[in-house]
């Protein structure tokens, strides 16, 4: 029986999905690694630990292939976008992996935003000016680590590094390149003018390939460790966002994919590029005929994790001791609070924000607290605030591309039936949830299958492999209640964005 393996190199873990080419999932893998956040704004990872995580998933998958007498038809990759490693002449790392979540390049991004060519940068690349962009990161590296910058012969992201180390392949797919802020959307090439601003040359970056690019042959030392069959085809793949759309079968502009994991995003695949006049959405090329447009959000499930750890730390320990899922238990507590959290609003910007505000210095706030509000009301407001923020991104996406007819949910939030319904009520639109919610891994499998000629019809295969879809209709009374609260949320959002950023500047000053 033929099987495919999809590997998704994510921010907190590498995930793997081994499945039959008719869709049946055989085994999922997960290898976590720590995010190093020892100084303000830092969010780095050790590339060697990620390499170990990927190789552990490969080895574990191969064991199952052998034990169950399966035939591995191919391997394909997905990865988080906007990560940077500087490499020396021998392509040995000079830095850790600086992830998309690292905000130390905020001053560089702010300076670019104020420059006379800010608008042009967005128009040329489709990447909003933000510390996540590799353009801002490179400017930061040159200023803050000049010796390393000078020694850097090459730069790449995590997928390119893993493919180089394991397979000796040095190339970047167009979707990853398009998220760097260095890639020209129209010409689908590295943009020479922008490379000049970043003070690097094209030959310091990997050559570009499409997502179907296929190769084989693992570096012998790794092949021995992993017991890798050298003839197995390996497919380059794409960035996790585009593949998440593929994995939930959101393949055209009438269907939006909403993923809420640690971070969150709303994304749409479109047959034409589309830019937001206020530069609040990204637009990345996926191929010569397809673009992914959307809003990435820092404050997804990570904010619920904060509420669990900071507001319910004692309960969390008790739930864990009783072998209960702490999130499920917290969500039970939240459901004891009436909708709208008894009039309490929460703006979830604990981690600064990308879409819709693109303000790395915005911070979170509770608004409307009264004597009767306690921890359960606060926790409900937290969850509703995460979703209100995403609703405001949905409004911008709808203004730019027209309101999509379908909304498909994936990621950690999709595990909870309560949250599925809450999203339908707050968005006031039906929410569809496929059985298979590891969307990026499945997207990697699907793109691998297309590259290897194992499917001709991606949509048909995606529909079959993402499994039965359950639809949650909005409850009209709840939707009405939420629309009143959302109107207040939207009015306060820009004011709080400005004022909390001023407070953040003071926080930095006091911390010095």
Least distance in Å: CB of 420 to ligand ADP?
9
Among the listed residues 392, 416, 432, 455, the single contact to ligand ADP using CB under 6 A: 416
Site for ligand ADP in 188-247 (CB under 6 A): none
Would you list the DSSP string of 61-130? HHHHHHHTT-EEEEEEEEE-SS-BEEE-TT--BSS-EE-TT--TTHHHHHHHHHSTTHHHHHHHH---SS
Bond prior to 140 in cis (omega within 30° of 0)? no
For residue 241, the partner it binds in ligand DXP, ligand ADP, none, with Cβ less than 5 to 8 A by kind, is ligand DXP
What track of x and - describes contact with ligand DXP for positions 221 through 250 (by CB under 6 A)? ------------------xxx---------
Asked if residue 100 binds ligand DXP (CB under 6 A), the reply is yes
Contacts of 316 (CB under 8 A, 6+ apart): 308, 309, 326, 330
Asked if residue 305 binds ligand ADP (CB under 6 A), the reply is yes
| Length of the chain in terms of residues written | 512
Asked if residue 411 binds ligand ADP (CB under 6 A), the reply is yes
Asked if residue 262 binds ligand ADP (CB under 6 A), the reply is yes
3-state secondary structure 376-425: HHHHHHHHHHHHHHHHHHHHHHHHHHCCCCEEEEECHHHHCHHHHHHHHH
- Secondary structure element (H or E) that encloses residue 265, with its range: strand 264-270
The footprint of ligand ADP on this chain (CB under 6 A) covers a number of residues equal to 18
Least distance in Å: CB of 325 to ligand ADP?
5
For residue 296, the partner it binds in ligand DXP, ligand ADP, none, with Cβ less than 5 to 8 A by kind, is ligand DXP
Asked if residue 149 binds ligand ADP (CB under 6 A), the reply is no
d(CA 456, CA 319): 47
Token pair listed for 303: 């904010």
Binding segment toward ligand ADP, per CB under 6 A, in 165-173, 298-306, 347-355, 465-473: 298-306
- Secondary structure element (H or E) that encloses residue 316, with its range: helix 313-321
For residue 100, the partner it binds in ligand ADP, ligand DXP, none, with Cβ less than 5 to 8 A by kind, is ligand DXP
Asked if residue 82 binds ligand DXP (CB under 6 A), the reply is yes
Least distance in Å: CB of 432 to ligand DXP?
20
d(CA 441, CA 452): 17
- Secondary structure element (H or E) that encloses residue 472, with its range: strand 469-472
Asked if residue 319 binds ligand ADP (CB under 6 A), the reply is no
- Secondary structure element (H or E) that encloses residue 54, with its range: helix 47-67
Binding segment toward ligand DXP, per CB under 6 A, in 23-31, 70-78, 256-264, 420-428: 256-264
Token pair listed for 78: 């997905």
What track of x and - describes contact with ligand DXP for positions 337 through 376 (by CB under 6 A)? ----------------------------------------
Token pair listed for 436: 């298979």
What track of x and - describes contact with ligand DXP for positions 270 through 309 (by CB under 6 A)? --------------------------x-------------
Asked if residue 11 binds ligand DXP (CB under 6 A), the reply is yes
Q: Strand 154-156 and strand 183-184: pairing?
A: unpaired
**In degrees, to the nearest 5, what angle opens at C-alpha 44 toward C-alphas 197 and 5?**
100
For residue 474, the partner it binds in ligand ADP, ligand DXP, none, with Cβ less than 5 to 8 A by kind, is none
Question: What is the number of alpha carbons within 13 Å of residue 458 lying toward its C-beta?
Answer: 21
Asked if residue 282 binds ligand ADP (CB under 6 A), the reply is no
d(CA 231, CA 225): 16
d(CA 76, CA 238): 9
For residue 81, the partner it binds in ligand ADP, ligand DXP, none, with Cβ less than 5 to 8 A by kind, is ligand DXP
Contacts of 225 (CB under 8 A, 6+ apart): 55, 59
Asked if residue 327 binds ligand ADP (CB under 6 A), the reply is yes
For residue 412, the partner it binds in ligand ADP, ligand DXP, none, with Cβ less than 5 to 8 A by kind, is ligand ADP
Cβ proximity to ligand ADP, 10 vs 296, nearer residue? 10
Catalog residues that contact ligand DXP under the rule CB under 6 A. 10-11, 80-82, 100, 132, 239-241, 261-263, 265, 296
Catalog residues that contact ligand ADP under the rule CB under 6 A. 10-12, 261-262, 301-302, 304-305, 325, 327-328, 411-413, 415-416, 419
């Amino acid at each position: 029986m033929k099987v495919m393996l999809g590997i998704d190199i994510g921010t907190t873990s590498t995930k793997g999905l081994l499945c039959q080419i008719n869709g049946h999932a055989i085994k999922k893998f997960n290898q976590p690694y720590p995010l190093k956040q020892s100084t303000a704004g830092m969010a780095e990872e050790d590339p060697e630990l990620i390499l170990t995580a990927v190789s552990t998933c490969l080895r574990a998958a191969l064991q199952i292939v052998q034990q169950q007498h399966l035939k591995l038809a191919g391997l394909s990759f997905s990865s988080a976008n906007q990560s940077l490693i500087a490499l020396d002449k021998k392509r040995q790392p000079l830095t850790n992996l600086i992830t998309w979540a690292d905000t130390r390049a905020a001053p560089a991004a702010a300076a670019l935003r104020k420059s006379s060519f800010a608008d042009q940068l967005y128009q040329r690349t489709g990447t909003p000016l933000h510390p996540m962009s590799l353009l801002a990161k490179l400017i930061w590296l040159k200023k803050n680590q000049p010796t390393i910058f000078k020694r850097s012969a090459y730069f790449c992201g995590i997928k390119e590094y893993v493919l180089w180390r394991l397979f000796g392949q040095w190339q970047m797919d167009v979707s990853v390149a398009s998220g760097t802020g260095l890639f020209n959307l129209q010409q689908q090439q590295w943009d020479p003018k922008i490379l000049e601003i970043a003070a690097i040359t094209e030959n310091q970056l990997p050559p570009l390939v499409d997502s179907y690019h296929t190769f084989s042959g693992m570096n012998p030392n790794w092949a021995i460790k992993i017991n890798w069959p050298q003839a197995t085809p390996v497919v380059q793949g794409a960035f996790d966002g585009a593949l998440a759309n593929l994995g939930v079968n959101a393949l055209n502009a009438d269907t939006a994919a909403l993923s809420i994991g640690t971070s969150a995003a709303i994304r749409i695949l479109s047959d034409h590029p589309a830019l937001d006049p206020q530069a609040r959405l990204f637009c990345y090329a996926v191929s010569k005929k397809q673009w992914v447009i959307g809003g990435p959000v820092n404050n997804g499930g990570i904010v619920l994790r904060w509420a669990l750890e900071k507001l319910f730390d004692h309960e969390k320990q008790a739930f864990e001791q009783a072998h209960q899922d702490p999130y499920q238990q917290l969500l039970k507590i939240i459901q004891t609070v009436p909708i709208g959290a008894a009039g309490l609003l929460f703006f979830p910007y604990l981690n600064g924000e990308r879409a819709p505000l693109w303000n790395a210095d915005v911070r979170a706030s509770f608004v409307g607290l009264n004597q009767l509000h306690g921890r359960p009301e606060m926790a409900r407001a937290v969850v509703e605030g995460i979703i209100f923020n995403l609703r405001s991104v949905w409004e911008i996406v709808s203004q730019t591309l027209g309101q999509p007819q379908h909304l498909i949910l994936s990621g950690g939030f999709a595990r909870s039936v309560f949250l599925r319904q809450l999203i339908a009520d707050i968005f006031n639109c039906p929410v569809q949830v496929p059985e298979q919610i590891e969307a990026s891994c499945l997207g990697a499998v699907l793109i691998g299958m297309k590259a290897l000629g194992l499917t001709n019809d991606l949509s048909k295969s995606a529909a079959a492999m993402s499994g039965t879809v359950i639809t949650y209709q909005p409850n009209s009374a709840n939707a009405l209640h939420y629309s009143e609260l959302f109107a207040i949320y939207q009015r306060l959002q820009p004011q709080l964005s400005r004022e909390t950023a001023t407070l953040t500047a003071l926080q930095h000053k006091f911390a010095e």
